[in-house]
Amino acid sequence: MKRIYPGLLVCLLVIDLVAQPINRKALVERHTVVVTQFDSLSSLSVGNGKFAFTVDATGLQTFPEYYAKGVALGTQSEWGWHSFPSPEKYTFDETLKNYKLNGREVSYSVQLKDPKRSVNAVNWFRQNPHRLQLGNIGFDITKNDGSLVQMSDIKNIRQELNMWTGEITSQFSVEGVIVKVSTFCNNEEDAVSAKVESPLINSGRLKIRLRFPYPTGEWKDVGTSWGDDAKHRSIALRSNRNGAEILHQIDTTKYYTWLWWNGNGLLSKKKEHYYTISPDPGQSGFSFTVKFTGYRPSLAHPLRGGFPVYKATGYSSKTAWEKFWNSGGAIDFSGSTDKRAFELERRIILSQYLARIQCAGSYPPQETGLTYNSWYGKPHLEMHWWHGIHFALWGRTELLEKSLSWYAKVANNAKAIAKRQGYDGLRWQKMTDNHGEESPSSVGAFLIWQQPHYIYFTELCYRAHPDKQTLDKYKELVFATADFMASYAHYDSAAKKYILGKGVIAAQERFKAEETFNPTYELVYWHWALNIAQQWRERAGLPRNKKWDNVLAKLSPLPVQDSKYLFTESGTDSYTNPEYRTDHPSVFGAWGMLPKTPMLDSVIMKNTFDWIWDNWAWKDTWGWDFPMTAMTATRLGLPDKAMDALLMPIQTNTYLVNGHNYQDDRLTIYLPGNGGILAAIAMMCAGYEQSSTINPGIPKNGAWKVRWEGLRKMF
């Protein structure tokens, strides 16, 4: 009989514990969302990455006006866009202003203040195109006295979102009569299905309502504009006892709504842009599907799957979500005694769900995803890093790659921007749309930190699939991206170094473009990305680019003052002006979002971190600032600070019951925060390429027990 020594036994037990796979279903389902009352911030969504549908406590979109002030009841797709006519035939050139920078004129599309026509042109190009709210699907329920049910008439609410299946189940009562609702989104189609069970159907008191809002064209569109009936049209092109097709047209934009229901029912037009489906009496249950499309579908067949449509949608959702949760990474904090552990785990699970339904399409997402418009529904490319890189870190690189195809489609637009401004290569847009057009912005036009993102994204793809196919797929845009970066850097012959700016706004948007040069984070990002681009040339069997090497060799060193990094070299009052203690502490990006480069000194960054930690106006920050801070703390070997940053009790670091990162009354959801927490916690567990510590961002005080699998190291 072999003797097992105590130390060996402990070792075997530890190995066995680590080897045990995480019960992913139990992990996800212990964070099932439960809602028991109407709360404008507790709406729930289903979606598939390119389409999302958000519901209130009834399981549909019955009371959109109430939720408009919170997390709106949106129905949005990645293809649904509209532009108002331009009666004055504005041209984009009317938004341009020339700036004298580094001895030459450079044009930027900005928010001009005069003359009036230019102001109107700017406003038009900012407003158009804008993302559409496609339609509102809710209940029309009649009370015993014949009046429509109001929100106060809904009682006994119990609603759950099961993220393992993508199903929202809702139960409530009206005058003592129970209504049960199950809501799914099809994984492949821009379609939502629901099943309703209630005696109210049998008595003819429950109808399904479909309304088409008019686009507001405002910064925020929550899909509750019911006026302007004459400015758009809705036509039932065909209908029968089991389905219907409706055309909605706004100016030259048209799309179709396809409806299918089980059993018999009748589509009626109650008033302009307002339809109801009345199930025949005698039924206790009723299921239906609504699909939105930019082209005319066939009414002759149900959606894919070969089942009755609701069942097909449910099967599609359940299959896709089980596959999603069983792929890639997982993190389990069970057994931790720190009271914050369960909340962190909740945020992680819900953020994965929200990112999958809101940010995993074929285009860079807007900051409010597919729920409601912010910035007119337009994506901001500097935020694509926060929306997307976590997919790769969690072993789901294919979800990041879906949106990278957009860059190739809009490369000619990026080339035109660079050419207009006198640069080489491609200058990637900041605030844009599906077609890659520029939007005028007095801040966004001068940002540059979106530029190296494409190199960061494609390097993640290459490290997931280090083969010739990946190189051939992305290399030309990698090289063109680097060409712009090298030509943008201005050579100062007196100082004998390359400078970024003037004419730049740092990621910390507190510095004037015409005065700013050499922001610390952007300098490091320029250096890192140009080096990676050179590696791509070498991998492709090409010689190094001499221009890039010249910029790398002579790029300005990081600006230092009193043993701390200045936020920008031009910002010599970085540490004395209170105004510069707000917004993003983006200097952390230099060794947080990015790995340690030869430019950076870890002692100086530690001094910088300590000062910002103690002096920053944290209440004046954004949701992704806390994950970024956690990343820098992790790289500095400060795991307690990393966790404190990730869970800092600040309003903009709030995560609602539905998992959304709340900022303020205007920006009630903010998906860069959700993406940020996923990127940060992946690094805090799996580490980064220069780390050897196990779980480098997890406190070592014994209060945190963490098991993880399937994560990848950050750069």
> 566 lies in a domain?
no
Q: What is the DSSP string of 381-392?
A: GGGHHHHHHHHH
The predicted model gives 481-507 an average pLDDT of: 97
> 306 lies in a domain?
yes
Tell me how far apart the alpha carbons of residues 652 and 655 are, in angstroms, rounded to a whole number.
Answer: 9
Boundary (domain end) residue, out of 325, 351, 366: 325
pLDDT at residue 632 tops 70: yes
The CATH number of whichever domain residue 239 belongs to comes to 2.70.98.50
What is the DSSP pairing of strand 490-492 with strand 253-261? unpaired
Tell me how far apart the alpha carbons of residues 413 and 428 are, in angstroms, rounded to a whole number.
Answer: 8
> Looking at the structure, do residues 76 and 170 belong to the same domain, yes or no?
yes
Its domain, for residue 104, covers 92-127
> 702 lies in a domain?
no
Which tokens sit at 302?
């149900």
Q: Which of 473, 335, 505, 462 is nearest to 408 (CA)?
A: 473
pLDDT at residue 410 tops 70: yes
What does the pLDDT read at residue 4?
Answer: 45
Split into its structural domains, the chain has a count of 2
Neighbours of 240 (CB within 10 A): 11
Q: Which pLDDT band holds residue 5 (cuts at 50, 70, 90)?
A: very low
> 473 lies in a domain?
no
> Looking at the structure, do residues 47 and 117 belong to the same domain, yes or no?
no
> Looking at the structure, do residues 43 and 98 belong to the same domain, yes or no?
no
User: One-letter amino acid identity for 100?
Assistant: K
> 500 lies in a domain?
no
**What is the tens place of the pLDDT at every residue in 551-603?**
999 999 999 999 999 999 999 999 999 999 999 999 999 999 999 999 999 99
Residues 6+ apart with CB under 8 A from 474: 404, 458, 461, 462
User: Under a CB-based contact definition with an 8 Å cutoff, are residues 280 and 287 in contact?
Assistant: no
User: Under a CB-based contact definition with an 8 Å cutoff, are residues 419 and 426 in contact?
Assistant: no
- The C-alpha angle 110, 371, 310, rounded to 5 degrees, equals 150
For helices 453-464 and 397-409, the axis angle rounded to 10 degrees is 130
What does the pLDDT read at residue 302?
Answer: 53
Alpha carbon 156 to its chain centroid, in Å, reads 34
What does the pLDDT read at residue 283?
Answer: 86
> Looking at the structure, do residues 55 and 106 belong to the same domain, yes or no?
no
pLDDT at residue 3 tops 60: no
> 560 lies in a domain?
no
What does the pLDDT read at residue 115?
Answer: 81
> Looking at the structure, do residues 135 and 278 belong to the same domain, yes or no?
yes
Neighbours of 694 (CB within 10 A): 11
DSSP-derived 3-state class of residue 543: coil
pTM for this entry: 0.95
> Looking at the structure, do residues 58 and 151 belong to the same domain, yes or no?
yes
> Looking at the structure, do residues 117 and 154 belong to the same domain, yes or no?
no
| SS3 of the chain: helix, strand, coil, percent, to 5 | 35, 20, 40
Measure CA of the first residue to CA of the last residue in the chain; give whole Å: 49
Residue 479's H or E segment, with its range, is: helix 468-488
What does the pLDDT read at residue 711?
Answer: 98
Positions of E strands within 36-146: 44-47, 51-55, 75-77, 81-82, 96-101, 104-109, 130-131, 136-141
Residue 207's H or E segment, with its range, is: strand 206-211
What does the pLDDT read at residue 296?
Answer: 84
Q: Which of 18, 49, 117, 704 is nearest to 355 (CA)?
A: 49
> Looking at the structure, do residues 203 and 143 belong to the same domain, yes or no?
yes
> 570 lies in a domain?
no
Helices H / strands E in the chain, number of each = 18, 28
φ/ψ of residue 596, rounded to 5: -70, 125
Sign of CA dihedral 10, 13, 19, 24: negative
The predicted model gives 271-281 an average pLDDT of: 95
- The tally of CA atoms less than 13 A away on the side-chain side of residue 254 is 11
**What is the tens place of the pLDDT at every residue in 18-37?**
458 999 999 999 999 999 99
> Looking at the structure, do residues 232 and 300 belong to the same domain, yes or no?
yes
